[in-house]
Chains A and B, each alone.
Chain A
């Protein structure tokens, strides 16, 4: 069974950093591209970033370029999202997802609240 378990969310002040993790199991992690998708409270879904199966390629939405870094450790079957210079508008639940052409499997999400 595919499982994706996010962790690392919480309350953080504007301008500070936070690192999210996503532990994967039930599939061969290094065979798949992975992504982060966020959802602000009571809002819709927004793609944040994608990383290729081997980590060689990364893609970001414009609003997080230069502030967020997606990475992976295939030996640990873990996906990461380093979030720097956080803003109030980054407040959201962050989901990790396994990608084929679609977001096939999703974790349960971790809530990040950016507030002073």
Chain B
């Protein structure tokens, strides 16, 4: 299985930039597509898709969210951070079965 590694928590100030990293145990790119996706989950809610295929913004997601990276190193950036962004963020790969998730990064306020 492909293992995705995220830092458990990140403390950030409002209106600053947050960068959340995700490292994979194997390359998740194939034919120019990064099979890496990002989700936001607030307490008591279902996850919501933010970024798909590495850098594509999902429908209805604000432009302050962006995704980058390739191969085994990926980043979710939130710039600027707003109060509503306090949540847990998960990366997920779909290059190989089984689809796997990172352990999640809890975004906290400084």
Contact = CB atoms under 8 A, between A and B. Distances in A.
Contact of B103 (A44, A61, A62, A104): A44
Given A101-B35, A101-B53, A106 B101 contact: no
Interface stretch (B17-25, B41-49, B77-85): B41-49
Contacts of A109: 46
Interface residues of B, number: 24
Contacts of B98: 47, 59, 61-62
A106 B48 contact: yes
B90 interface: yes
A46 interface: yes
B17 to A, nearest CB: 24
A102 B53 contact: yes
Interface in A73-116: 95, 100-109
A47 B101 contact: yes
A103 B103 contact: no
A7 to B, nearest CB: 14
Contacts of A11: none
Nearest to A109: B46
B100 interface: yes
A104 B58 contact: yes
Contacts of A62: 98
B97 interface: yes
Contacts of B52: 100-102, 104
Interface string B37-61: 1010100011111001100001000
A62 B97 CA distance: 11
B75 interface: no
Interface of B: 33, 35, 37, 39, 41, 45-49, 52-53, 58, 90, 92, 94, 97-104
Interface of A: 35, 37, 44-47, 50, 59, 61-62, 95, 100-109
